[in-house]
A and B are shown apart, each in its own frame.
Chain A
């Protein structure tokens, strides 16, 4: 029996608000008209590289592609090399963009605002076959070539239905969702595009960037309102010491959120902060209130199993059994604790640890604002065949000796960083991750500047 088709969106009727842009609501009638207009204008290719920056336009582009039976391509980056690789993957791909200066080397289709005829009173929400391939979301991959991950409509819907159940403000009518993350990234796609479509909430079209923008955009949205963001943005909000309008829920993902930062955000803005765990491969699968609890709660129907030391996720919306990149300790059928990334395992002089575990210890030192361990790959680490770790630490009130004293209490001495470099901030990218080459560049600079540290 063919599974039942699922509606494109769940807003209650033509007058329900689908999006907000510059204080102005965009209702479902306008949204549907925009989707139909664009879907009829899409070129013949079956793959759409949707690079719209405005979140409403992105969402219209995604929905129009679905309605036209096309698959959206969501890449990790827009570097010419990545685009060439996408083109090799899907030679018929074209690019939908709302940027007049777009230089992507693919056939371009420019988004046009407000061209659709609103039309008559007929109101039929398109329904999509759950087995339809909705998107390929790419991860950067270890070899450099982007790795595609298939996402069918049904699994995407299922996942954000689970997410919606976790986000209390969505149960109230007219909830608005503001995101600081791009819609092309898995977390941003799920939480700022799929989630509003499937929960009847309204999405904020803007993608605020500076702390003052986040505050201003939040202020433009009606309550209840939810902020979908990352540890990087939360850190910058707190550091900017900026007043935030009342917000009903903050959601963080993409990188481990330190509990101290979670507590500070909850306290300062008087708001619950939910951290979400997931990956591009599996989508979102768990959540926790980081300020209050260590254990993660799995989405219903998703199961975890440890097989030969690796944790596998399956069931629920997870397309196929998938090995997770993290070390996970099960604490019951739907509870677990994260101990850091398996991919980050380090082995020094026969002792094993993980970078995430070490980072956790480093960031737990009072006075440490941010810090990261990494394996040095330069010449200096190969003395006696032992690769040593280095660490970058942001701790304005502490000196290196004080930090090392604290670390000695927490970790095995073989893992102590050589050197420990104090910096004013870490070179985190948009999603909070630390590109390896940036870390190594910083170490190389320090080696020139402070050669005594590298003895």
Chain B
């Protein structure tokens, strides 16, 4: 059995950087972005400038995180303003609201 196929430990699951990288990979795969996941600057905006995602991409990301982590995004969420401010903010939001 290879190391990668082992279930994630609780410590790994709680590591914000691991989650951040995992989300970057899901976004790149899900949206077919030209970037490599590790090329995404965790501090630059996801929407508009920065990574250059549009609203339909955001809709796709919402589907991805709801399937993967059970996080349901809402446009009228008070925190929404900074959820998409960067990959790091987004990962923190997912970590705080994930149900799986």
Contact = CB atoms under 8 A, between A and B. Distances in A.
A-B interaction: yes
B74 A239 contact: no
Interface in A390-432: 423-425, 427-430
Contacts of A424: 29-30, 32
Interface stretch (B10-18, B39-47, B56-64, B88-96): B56-64
B74 A425 contact: no
A436 B71 CA distance: 32
A427 B32 contact: yes
A206 to B, nearest CB: 8
B74 A216 contact: yes
A424 B63 CA distance: 12
Contacts of A442: 32
Given A423-B32, A425-B31, A427-B32, A212 B72 contact: yes
B19 interface: no
B22 interface: no
Contacts of A239: 63
A273 B12 CA distance: 46
Contact of A209 (B32, B60, B66, B75): B75
Contacts of A7: none
B76 to A, nearest CB: 7
Interface in A192-250: 206, 208-213, 216, 232, 236, 239-240
A441 interface: yes
Contacts of A427: 31-32, 56
Given A236-B63, A445-B32, A430 B55 contact: yes
Contacts of A209: 55, 58-59, 75
B34 interface: yes
Contact of B75 (A208, A236, A428, A441): A208
Q: Which of the listed residues B29, B30, B54, B75 has the most CB atoms from chain A within 10 Å of its own CB?
A: B75
B62 to A, nearest CB: 5
Interface residues of A, number: 22
B73 interface: yes
Contact of A212 (B30, B31, B73): B73
Contacts of A232: 56, 59
Given A423-B32, A425-B30, A429-B54, A213 B75 contact: yes
Contacts of A240: 62-63, 66
Which range holds the interface residue count of chain B?
10 to 19
Decide if the interface of chain B is mainly helix, strand, loop or mixed.
helix
Contact of A210 (B31, B34, B54, B74): B74
Interface string A168-198: 0000000000000000000000000000000
A429 B56 contact: yes
A209 B76 CA distance: 9
Given A423-B32, A424-B29, A442-B32, A213 B76 contact: yes
Interface in B68-99: 72-76
A210 B56 contact: no
Contacts of B63: 211, 236, 239-240
B32 A210 contact: no
A101 B63 CA distance: 28
A442 B33 CA distance: 8
A274 B73 CA distance: 28
Contacts of B73: 210, 212
A208 B76 CA distance: 9
B62 A210 contact: yes
A212 B60 CA distance: 13
A216 B56 CA distance: 19
A236 B59 contact: yes
Nearest to A239: B63
A411 to B, nearest CB: 25
Contacts of B59: 209-210, 232, 236
B16 to A, nearest CB: 24
Contacts of B66: 240
A213 B59 CA distance: 11
Nearest to B73: A210
B83 to A, nearest CB: 11
Contacts of B32: 423-425, 427, 442, 445
A147 B90 CA distance: 39
A425 B59 CA distance: 11
Nearest to A428: B56
A304 B59 CA distance: 38
A157 B31 CA distance: 41
A212 B75 CA distance: 9
Nearest to B64: A424
Q: Which of the listed residues A210, A216, A236 has the most CB atoms from chain B within 10 Å of its own CB?
A: A210
6 contacts: A209-B55, A239-B63, A423-B32, A430-B54, A430-B55, A442-B32
Given A208-B75, A424-B32, 15 more contacts: A209-B75, A210-B72, A211-B62, A212-B73, A213-B76, A216-B74, A216-B76, A232-B56, A239-B63, A423-B32, A424-B30, A428-B56, A429-B54, A430-B54, A441-B34
Q: Top 9 A-B pairs ranked by shortest CB distance?
A: A209-B75, A213-B75, A212-B72, A210-B62, A210-B73, A445-B34, A212-B74, A236-B59, A239-B63
